[in-house]
A = this chain, B = another copy of it.
């Protein structure tokens, strides 16, 4: 009983978790075709459970299935990321406003301590850790929990955050705004402490839209240097 060989119960759920990880880390590339037989082989399971896992990932918007044509890893292009951040802003803004009313004093205090830990990590690694690590998600996740809205929690934790982590892996070395982000987090906690829901929402929305502006801008620059513009006309795309 040293180590339970499967983190969750069924093979389909295990496969679902592993696939999620593989997609987020980029081990499975964006737009890549997912061959059922090959994946089943790789994870040592039958195609039945694997298909169930794919259906689950489809629900999380990590893969797109087309009947009789197979599943592909979702293409997280710029438009989709923009949509994602817009939805996230609305949802987390609401979470923050609600959390200001419903979180216990103890929970808010825990949040503040969490930020202190983050601050230490930032100093220790000179600004590297905060954004890259999952630490940032802890903060946002704790606030989602604080809203006491189970549907909102599921929505954020189950779907949006997976896509968001996928964004991060793609753009991790682009954005290095760890210190301003931490400062914004601190201000949010202050608003929560003051039980000022409206302010907390505004700060959270600004925090998220700021993050998007930063990422968006960095993508522009990256884009210009590489010039991977998608072919807008069909000028001999074959060769």
Contact = CB atoms under 8 A, between A and B. Distances in A.
Interface of A: 8-10, 12-13, 48, 51-52, 55-56, 58-61, 67-68, 79-80, 83-84, 86-87, 89-91, 93-94, 98, 149-152, 154-155
Interface centre among A13, A51, A68 (most CB of B within 10 A): A51
A3 to B, nearest CB: 19
B149 A67 contact: no
Given A55-B55, A59-B56, A8 B67 contact: yes
A158 to B, nearest CB: 9
A155 B98 contact: no
A207 B68 CA distance: 42
Nearest to A67: B9
Given A48-B48, A56-B55, A90-B91, A151 B83 contact: yes
Contacts of A93: 90
A100 to B, nearest CB: 14
A5 to B, nearest CB: 15
A201 to B, nearest CB: 10
A155 to B, nearest CB: 7
A152 B94 contact: no
A80 B13 contact: no
Given A56-B55, A67-B13, A151 B80 contact: yes
20 contacts: A9-B68, A12-B55, A48-B48, A51-B52, A52-B52, A55-B55, A55-B56, A58-B59, A59-B59, A61-B154, A80-B151, A83-B151, A83-B152, A86-B152, A87-B91, A87-B94, A87-B151, A87-B155, A90-B90, A90-B94
